[in-house]
Amino acid sequence: MKYLVSFCFTLLSALPTLAQGTIPQSAQSQLAKELVIERVCKSPEVTSGAEFDELQRVEQKLGTVINQDRQHRTYVALANSPVINAWATNFNLNISMICVPVAMVHFMGDAEGELAFILSHEIGHTLDDRCKTEEGRLAVANSRGSLGAVLGGLLGGQKGAAAASKISQQRGCEERADEIGFYVFTASGYNPYDAAGAFGRIEMYLGDTRTGIFARLNALGSDHPMTPDRIRHMRVLLINNAVQKAGRGQ
Ligand SMILES: [Zn+2]
């Protein structure tokens, strides 16, 4: 893993990113890029076709906001994968890769705004430095005042507490990715309710907002569970957005 991280770090310095437009020149760096993408996205990259064009459209629109951030560099890869999910891998605090499987683009159909929110959520993970370290994630879990860790400790001892804390960290970081993503998404000009549309689509797919065992067995459900807390949090974001718009007389 250490090797992969340093390898990716060196390589990604040469990749075209959302933040900068350098293009690797040699065939060697092209090959290395393909290897990293296959490793991180678990399938080869797709670089043409309708799905690629769709994702490019979204990237360009979100890029108008993301390009203002010079600290983080993120490469978005469309992966030739049948998995309905998307994930961000942070190689260090500044360099990240987002994998968007072709199946996820299909799943979103012609709803560009919903796909844009999925990508924005992943961008949220790449921008959130706090959730990139163990210390930061613990602080996020503690600030949520989670009872989970206490109850987990009572029911399952140290192991139970650790597991509950892990869940609390994950949920906390998911909400933060929703919030950062929502800001990027709305600042890029997308309809805020497309974020709610994406939530609804995922909820119908998972079929269980309580994140029961069947939902969690699913890849999308295990790392992006659609919990009542997450839905409530999105409602708050939407209401705040409406209040701000009303304040601006929009
Ligand atoms: Zn996430």
Q: What is the pLDDT of residues 63-119, one digit of tens each?
A: 999 988 889 999 999 999 999 999 999 999 999 999 999 999 999 999 999 999 999
Pick 19 or 176 by higher pLDDT. 176
Q: Using the mean position of ligand 1's atoms as its centre, give its distance from the Cα of residue 124 in Å.
A: 8
Helix-helix angle 2-12:27-41, to 10 degrees: 130
Residue 45 contacts by C-beta under 8 Å, 6 or more apart in sequence?
A: 34, 37, 38, 77, 78, 79, 80
pLDDT at 200 over 50: yes
Which residues constitute the domain of residue 112?
A: 1-127
Question: Is residue 196 in some structural domain?
Answer: no
Question: Is residue 211 in some structural domain?
Answer: no
Question: Is residue 118 in some structural domain?
Answer: yes
Residue type, 140: V
Q: Using the mean position of ligand 1's atoms as its centre, give its distance from the Cα of residue 233 in Å.
A: 14
Pick 232 or 46 by higher pLDDT. 46
CA angle 196, 194, 144 (to 5 degrees): 40
Q: Using the mean position of ligand 1's atoms as its centre, give its distance from the Cα of residue 169 in Å.
A: 12
Q: CA-CA distance, 58 to 226, in Å (whole number)?
A: 23
Q: Using the mean position of ligand 1's atoms as its centre, give its distance from the Cα of residue 27 in Å.
A: 33
Question: Is residue 221 in some structural domain?
Answer: no
Question: Is residue 137 in some structural domain?
Answer: no
Question: Is residue 66 in some structural domain?
Answer: yes
Coil vs helix vs strand at 250: coil
User: Residue 76's beta-bridge partner residues?
Assistant: 98
Per-residue confidence (pLDDT) for residue 2, from 0 to 100 = 41
Question: Is residue 157 in some structural domain?
Answer: no
Contact 104, 82 (CB under 8 A): no
Q: Using the mean position of ligand 1's atoms as its centre, give its distance from the Cα of residue 121 in Å.
A: 6
Q: Using the mean position of ligand 1's atoms as its centre, give its distance from the Cα of residue 156 in Å.
A: 27
3-state secondary structure 139-177: HHHHHCCCCHHHHHHHHHHHHHHHHHHHHHHHHHHHHHH
b/e code 31-68 from CB counts within 10 Å (16+ = b):
ebbeebbeebbebebbeeeebeebbeebbebbbebbee
The number of folded domains in the chain is: 1
Q: Position of tokens 């690629």?
A: 52
Give residue 3's pLDDT band: very low, low, confident or very high (50, 70, 90). Answer: very low
Q: Using the mean position of ligand 1's atoms as its centre, give its distance from the Cα of residue 177 in Å.
A: 6
Overall residue count recorded for the chain in this entry: 250
Question: How confident is the prediction for the chain on average, in pLDDT?
Answer: 83
Q: Using the mean position of ligand 1's atoms as its centre, give its distance from the Cα of residue 202 in Å.
A: 13
Q: Using the mean position of ligand 1's atoms as its centre, give its distance from the Cα of residue 161 in Å.
A: 22
pTM of the model: 0.81
Question: Is residue 60 in some structural domain?
Answer: yes
Of 113, 117, 170, which is closest to residue 140 (Cα–Cα)? 170
